[in-house]
Chains A and B, each alone.
Chain A
Amino acid sequence: MSSNTGGYFVPAPTAWPFYLTIGLFLMLGGVSNYLNGHGASMLIWTGLAISLAFIWIWFRGIINESESGKYGQQVDMTYRWGMGWFIFSEVMFFGAFFGALFYARQLSLPWLGGSDVMTNAVLWPQFENAWPTNGPGGVGGDFGIIPPWGVPFLNTMLLLTSGVTLTFAHHGLRENKPRRNVILWMWATVALGCIFLFFQAEEYIVAYQHLNLTLESGIYGSTFFMLTGFHGMHVTLGTLMLLVITLRLMKGHFKSDSHFGFEGVAWYWHFVDVVWLGLFVFVYIL
């Protein structure tokens, strides 16, 4: 743990966060109007464009500051702590959805099926607890499920491999191996992320077109798509982050002993990887 040694980098006043917030405000206001059936696509796209522009500008500013050597040891430690706590908050977000899955399977479905309580007798006496299910109301109609040992297993292998290639890149950077090798390992990691996303999209298409497995397929469809969907969004974000890091490596950024931008993205990617392992076990296999 470091302490205040003086000369900590304090950024100049900036309106980036303010404009980013305006972007988010317009976008979310627009989405709200859209959901209420008032149509507001102009608002949504304008807000999204402003948000993305200022995320871009903000990160570009950080990268420029970092490359011009404004960040000392202590700022580095700030980013480490900050990224760690941010990932912890993400873990808790996924925890809410895993919690919903466990609660439904361990408590609400057995109760609906008549174990421990008799309330099911007045509601759905015919219902028997089983998994997968779309509930006693058969919400969304009959559906099939994605077998775990096909595409999901392949995706597990892809993500685990991407963790390995990323680690090779990291070691190469730390040990001052030729930059070309590091960049190649990074491109391999980005490619594995993209292939994962391709298969995930393919799986969704199969689910919707052939299996009648949709977001509306009762509690199974809800937990399946919300968990894999939020994970897929995180993989998309993680792949973009890996891409940025790769491009920065190609521009000659990062030193062997100072590259938290790289490490932060690596932490994030491993976090996404671990969430997938949880999904593979609890959503696909069990």
Chain B
Amino acid sequence: MSEHHDSHHDDHGPEKGIMRWIKTTNHKDLGTLYLWFAFIMFFIGGVMSLIIRLELFSPGLQWVNPEFFNSMTTMHALIMIFGGVMPAFTGLANWMVPMMVGASDLALPRVNNWGFWILPFAFTLLLSTLFMGGGAPASGWTMYPPLVLQTGDAFPFMIFAIHLMGISSITGAINVIVTILNMRAPGMTLLKMPLFVWSWLITAYLLIATMPVLAGAVTMLLTDKYFGTSFFTAAGGGDPVMYQHIFWFFGHPEVYILILPAFGIVSTIIPTFARKTLFGYDSMVYAMASIAFLSFIVWAHHMFTVGMPLAGELFFMFATMLIAVPTGVKVFNWVATMWRGSMTFETPMLFALGFVFLFTIGGFSGLMLAIAPADFQYHDSYFVVAHFHYVLVPGAVFSIIAGMYYWMPKWTGHMYHEGLGKLHFWLSAIAINLTFFPQHFAGLAGMPRRIPDYAVQFTDWNVISSIGAFFFFIAQFIMAYNWIVNCVMRKGAPATARVWEGAHGLEWTVPSPAPYHTFETPPVISESEITAVHDEPAAAPSRA
């Protein structure tokens, strides 16, 4: 099939030049924009992390002053979470969800355009604070009062940037959820949907439920600072701890917003390269739904040391540990999927396997932190930094990289270079462990987080960590070269429609590169493209 197979739709083909990208309502164009935006933000946030690691290379203050150091930790987090991981997942959803469910586009294409274009403006507001009197926000990304209320001119810019990011997330989530509920091709019942679609359905629900709560929390910060309210001031009858409760009511589901789509990606990739159907499809769906439900009742485990009643400590400790059950179901299912599979180890599979190993390490350290009495020692130490970087970098970020390697041949019609891809994986996997594993030890030995200086006994671990961080950052240029030259600039070998031998699903039935418009009339779904196989023997289609 030719690349121009639907050129008769000339009434809404792509426009020329820059206006194509400003005006586009096409889910593939907007997916590309989201992914480029996330790509740029990952590098900006990455440079900030290098400033942090440079300063921590040796004890004492040598490169930056403490205020700027604190700005770097704050901005690094805000950029990576709201500018990197979330837009990257939304970009993948833009590209893949309509193709996976057999829809012509997302349900609300103009709103989709709006959701993307808010982001560059929101991050202009946020990044402009680096050049303001008083410096960029330096309170940590959690923005706890009363500390955050000491922010200089940056303060309202940060608050409004977060409001805008919230609007972007909510519009994007409504779009995805409505597409999934309303736009599926006939025969694509809910329990036949690919797991990436399921993961995004649940993620979108979490976004709609929690981003408005964050908006409420930062609005209270704004009125406390400029309009004399007393939400977080004890003298007026409020309570700074109340902010932490409201923030983490958003913040904990947010953690799963950052990981559920990763579960979906890994659940897509492992069956392809194990050449088996996913083990326990139904239990994967129920596990994600359980994790989403539990995410709303565990938030105070971020605040064990704040001074809560004992009953609160116990409730949040046990509820948190409960999450290990559905998460364990998922990890075991991934492993069982590979059991006796005809495995090959192309780059997406390597990153997916890296995810299963390293995310699980992050999960285990999470269980340690869930034990309230133990958390009194770990709290605000580098152990926590090691924990959440294990779930976010070799967790969320590895899954995004895996998804990019996996689907980019479908988008561009050209393969990346497999050797460079494998090199990128091994360098990344080694470097990321060099960076974050020693932080466990530094933290257990008592090194606090968010400080530019430290006692000399922590030096060795910090030296290793800093070397790992620079090593990891440099390795990402291999990835950038590989994607941009081979896929985007189309120097790589042409990709087939199926791309991967073991791949199933509607997205592989269209040519590579995928035409500008796909499934304007709904596809007839053949049984072999249904990736969901249920546990009941009667429903299981026979597939080699």
Contact = CB atoms under 8 A, between A and B. Distances in A.
B partners with A: yes
Interface stretch (B238-246, B328-336, B368-376, B479-487): B238-246
A10 B12 contact: yes
A236 interface: no
Contacts, number: 252
Tell me the interface secondary structure of chain A in the complex. helix
A147 interface: no
Interface stretch (B61-69, B73-81, B219-227, B440-448): B219-227
B156 interface: yes
B212 A96 contact: yes
B15 interface: yes
B19 A15 contact: yes
A88 B234 contact: no
Interface stretch (A21-29, A243-251, A255-263): A21-29
A220 interface: yes
A86 to B, nearest CB: 6
Contact of B108 (A82, A92, A116): A82
A123 interface: yes
Interface stretch (A106-114, A156-164, A171-179, A275-283): A106-114
Interface stretch (B278-286, B490-498, B516-524): B516-524
Contacts of B477: none
Contacts of A225: 229
B234 A108 contact: yes
B107 A78 contact: yes
A85 to B, nearest CB: 5
A82 B107 contact: yes
B208 A104 contact: no
B182 A215 contact: no
Contacts of B188: 3
B215 A77 contact: no
B46 interface: no
Contact of A135 (B20, B25, B237, B241): B237
A286 interface: no
Tell me the interface secondary structure of chain B in the complex. helix
A28 B125 contact: yes
B537 interface: no
A22 B120 CA distance: 10
Contacts of B245: 99, 103
B105 A10 contact: yes
A133 interface: yes
Contacts of B163: 28
B60 interface: no
B538 interface: no
Interface stretch (B173-181, B338-346, B352-360): B173-181
Contacts of A90: 212
A64 interface: no
Given A78-B107, A78-B182, A92-B212, A15 B520 contact: no
A92 B103 CA distance: 30
Given A81-B182, A96-B212, A137 B236 contact: yes
A93 interface: yes
B234 A123 contact: yes
B234 A25 contact: no
B242 A17 contact: no
Nearest to B245: A103
B536 interface: no
B388 interface: no
Contacts of A13: 12, 14-15, 19-20, 23-26
| B114, B153, B229, B237 — most chain A CB neighbours (10 Å) | B237
B236 A140 contact: yes
B226 A35 contact: yes
| B104, B110, B217 — most chain A CB neighbours (10 Å) | B110
Interface in B11-40: 11-12, 14-15, 19-20, 22-26
Given A1-B182, A8-B105, A92-B212, A15 B220 contact: no
B237 A133 contact: yes
B156 A81 contact: no
B173 to A, nearest CB: 8
Contact of B213 (A88, A95, A133, A135): A95
A32 interface: yes
B125 A4 contact: no
Contacts of B223: 215, 222, 226
Given A14-B113, A15-B22, A97-B216, A4 B519 contact: yes
B19 A89 contact: no
A139 B230 contact: yes
B186 A4 contact: yes
Contacts of A123: 234
Given A18-B117, A85-B208, A10 B237 contact: no
A122 interface: no
A136 interface: yes
Contacts of A6: 104, 520-522
A210 to B, nearest CB: 19
Contact of B178 (A85, A109, A221, A223): A85
B237 A136 contact: yes
Contacts of B181: 1, 81
Interface in B170-217: 170, 173-174, 177-178, 181-186, 188, 208-213, 215-217
B141 interface: no
B43 interface: no
Interface in A102-144: 103-104, 107-109, 111-112, 116, 123, 133-137, 139-140
B110 A58 contact: yes
B415 interface: no
B161 to A, nearest CB: 8
Given A6-B520, A88-B209, A136-B235, A78 B178 contact: yes
Given A21-B117, A81-B181, A99 B227 contact: no
Given A4-B104, A89-B211, 9 more contacts: A8-B103, A10-B109, A13-B25, A15-B19, A17-B113, A74-B182, A74-B183, A123-B234, A219-B237
16 contacts: A4-B522, A10-B104, A78-B107, A82-B107, A86-B174, A89-B174, A92-B210, A93-B215, A96-B215, A96-B220, A99-B213, A104-B231, A104-B238, A135-B230, A135-B237, A219-B230
Interface of A: 1-8, 10-18, 20-22, 24-25, 28-29, 31-32, 35-36, 58, 74, 77-78, 81-82, 85-86, 88-90, 92-93, 95-97, 99-100, 103-104, 107-109, 111-112, 116, 123, 133-137, 139-140, 214-216, 218-223, 225-226
Interface of B: 11-12, 14-15, 19-20, 22-26, 101-105, 107-111, 113-114, 117-118, 121, 124-125, 153, 155-157, 160, 163-164, 170, 173-174, 177-178, 181-186, 188, 208-213, 215-217, 219-220, 223, 226-231, 233-239, 241-242, 245-246, 249, 309, 517, 519-522
Q: What are the 6 tightest A-B residue pairs by CB atom distance, in nearest-first order?
A: A96-B216, A137-B235, A135-B237, A17-B114, A219-B237, A108-B239
